[in-house]
Structure 1
Amino acid sequence: MINSQNIHDGAPIRRRSGRQRRKQLAGLLFIAPALILVATFFVIPLGMAFWMSLHNWPLLGRPRFIGFGNYIRLTQDAQFWSSMRFTVYYTVIVTIAIFAVAFPLALFAEKAHRFTKFYRTAFFLPVVVGFGSASLLWAWLLDVDSGLFSPAAEYLGLMTTRINLLADFDTTFWSIIIMVVWKTAGFNMIILLTGLQGISTEVQEAARIDGASSLQRFRRITLPLMRRTIALALILSVSGSMLAFDQFYIIADGGPQNRTVTAVYWIFSQSFGSFRLGYGAALSMVLLVILVFISVVQLRLLRNPEGM
């Protein structure tokens, strides 16, 4: 009698466990394409890059295993750390500039206007232009002879002679900053606009009825409720800026006097200019670790008290 009862009680359990296994298998099948893509285009290349960084890997010839020799070498690479300092400086300046433009644009585009859709489209249009194409466009605009800015300023009488905007570090740097803000502010505007539209109008209206000013509502309601959205936009902006390459390679070519060499530019130079692929891979791994660290710090600083 006891054995029969145990058999009858165990059958539903086995059926439930079988259904659960089939559901788990179905779930794995659904995510299998994404897992394959991640493994093919991220995990495997990352492993190969780390393996390459442990070798003296010339473009031609046989790789030679040297362990952590490339990592020891980069600690003494003054140009790499100089490029990292410049990259961090550029990242701080351009991120502040992007948010200073994108946030007002989002606040403006969030309100209902007669031409709201037109404004949103116009602000977003530069985003669809690739960084390479945008850099080529601005390289032409900044050209002292055949460009637009210097000849136009001379023609309008704003300056007596044409000035080569790419001959000085300050003018080169700020010209690139303006180009990047023009190119990317619309993307950040869309992210921030999404966060603004997610804030309940009832909350804003209740605060307004209670006598809160526009600035108070912005500080006490809008910013706290947009914490996650701002964190996303900030991480994307900082990560993209830390990986800056196209604009400095195409517009300035690292000049003047190698003062606009970014970390990725130096990695590119070592890998495909000096053909030291192993050393370039080691530099890439260090930059990856720095990016992950910065992203984690940003998430911790911007997370909600109750957690993100």
Structure 2
Amino acid sequence: MIKNKNLLKQTPLQYVLFFTLPAVFLLFCFLLLPVVFSFGFSFMNFNMLKPQAAFFTGFENHVRLLTDPTFYKALKNTVYFTVIVVLYQDSLAFLLALLVKRNIRGIGIFRTAYFTPLVTSITVVSILWTFIYNPNPTQGLLNALRIKIGLAPSQFLHNPKTAMNSIIFMSGWHSAGYHMMILLAGLQAIPNELYEAAEIDGAGPIHQFLHVTIPGIKNVLIFVVQVTMISAMKLFTQPYVMTQGGPKESTKTLTYYIYQQGFQFRNIGYASTISILFFIIVVTLSLTMKHIIKEK
């Protein structure tokens, strides 16, 4: 029962404003204000432990960014992770969705099993996989299995050539279940009559997949790819927990570099400059993909 009877006399617009105001306030405080402050700090030399010593530097941070080899290394790692994980994770999710699509006895167990990794915190999963990737054959599960089948142990997270790929494999395994459920919903929304009509016309399983399944799930696939791409661009937890950006900066991403500059080196001005460029990159990619989708 509503105690304040005046609420009952308000117009629908006032109700909307009343209930949306808290969300708008939080959005302003935790999204819009940080963007504005980051833009301002990018033109300053600002140490968060000595805010009184901050001073205006103009485009000094921006010039430094353009000549910073670590930034380009982090950008390259971020792009590599994004491209590979989108292909790997979404392909795995689509395959799993096709496998669990049929309503057979016990299929719910498999759906739950594939979705379960996502329920666990990515921090906990990263710590767990650090032990799995342990280079010591007596402690690392994967190296113990490699020795059992006659392969030499691998350094995994300790080798610059394999560290990022090891993180990609773990990340795809962790998140594929979530996208599997979205794709499964899309597959189940395709009318069975379309498959029956295609079968009557003589279309085999491959033609049904290409001409019924893919067109029917196209919009869902596009959505999943967009979500995966944006999430992959923000990669931070796995490198932070598993490799600390190493070895030899092979797993250092843009978000990790922003954290490092801002919170480890206390260089808020330079971290803000990287953040603004990172924001522009993500928005540009999102708008570009949206434009491509509209064209199609």
Under a length normalisation based on structure 2, what TM-score does the superposition of the two structures give?
Answer: 0.88
Deviation sequence 1:214-266 (CA, Å, 0-9, x none): 22222222222322211211111111111111212222222222222111111
Cα deviation, residue 276, structure 1: 0.4
Counterpart residue number, 1:59: 48
- Is the radius of gyration larger for structure 1 or structure 2? 1
Deviation sequence 1:128-148 (CA, Å, 0-9, x none): 122211111111111123322
8 Å contact from structure 1 (residues 74, 80) kept in 2: yes
CA distance in 1: counterparts of 2:250 and 2:104, whole angstroms: 45
Kindly provide the amino acid, as one letter, of the partner of residue 101 in structure 2: E
8 Å contact from structure 1 (residues 50, 285) kept in 2: yes
Cα deviation, residue 275, structure 1: 1.3
Residues 1-308 of structure 1: pairs in structure 2 closer than 5 A = 22-61=11-50, 62=52, 63-145=54-136, 146-154=139-147, 156=148, 158-159=150-151, 162-303=153-294, 305=296
8 Å contact from structure 1 (residues 188, 233) kept in 2: yes
Task: For residue 266 of structure 2, give the secondary structure of its aligned residue in structure 1.
Answer: coil
CA distance in 2: counterparts of 1:170 and 1:233, whole angstroms: 29
Kindly provide the amino acid, as one letter, of the partner of residue 29 in structure 1: F
Cα deviation, residue 33, structure 1: 3.2
Counterpart residue number, 1:16: none
Deviation sequence 1:48-69 (CA, Å, 0-9, x none): 2222223211122222223443
Deviation sequence 1:78-124 (CA, Å, 0-9, x none): 21022101210111111111122110101111211211211110000
Cα deviation, residue 157, structure 1: 5.5
8 Å contact from structure 1 (residues 165, 171) kept in 2: yes
Cα deviation, residue 125, structure 1: 0.3
CA distance in 2: counterparts of 1:303 and 1:116, whole angstroms: 36
8 Å contact from structure 2 (residues 164, 250) kept in 1: no
CA distance in 2: counterparts of 1:272 and 1:75, whole angstroms: 21
8 Å contact from structure 1 (residues 144, 151) kept in 2: no
Counterpart residue number, 2:7: none
CA distance in 2: counterparts of 1:23 and 1:166, whole angstroms: 57
CA distance in 2: counterparts of 1:116 and 1:217, whole angstroms: 23
8 Å contact from structure 1 (residues 106, 190) kept in 2: yes
Counterpart residue number, 2:3: none
CA distance in 2: counterparts of 1:31 and 1:203, whole angstroms: 43
CA distance in 1: counterparts of 2:157 and 2:15, whole angstroms: 58
CA distance in 2: counterparts of 1:300 and 1:212, whole angstroms: 33
CA distance in 2: counterparts of 1:27 and 1:167, whole angstroms: 54
CA distance in 2: counterparts of 1:206 and 1:165, whole angstroms: 50
Cα deviation, residue 294, structure 1: 0.8
- Unaligned residue ranges in structure 2 (runs of 5+): 1-9
8 Å contact from structure 1 (residues 231, 298) kept in 2: no
Kindly provide the amino acid, as one letter, of the partner of residue 260 in structure 1: T
Task: For residue 170 of structure 1, give the secondary structure of its aligned residue in structure 2.
Answer: coil
8 Å contact from structure 1 (residues 53, 281) kept in 2: yes
Cα deviation, residue 198, structure 1: 1.9
Report the count of equivalent residues: 283
CA distance in 1: counterparts of 2:192 and 2:295, whole angstroms: 21
CA distance in 1: counterparts of 2:149 and 2:227, whole angstroms: 41
Under a length normalisation based on structure 1, what TM-score does the superposition of the two structures give?
Answer: 0.85
- Unaligned residue ranges in structure 1 (runs of 5+): 1-20
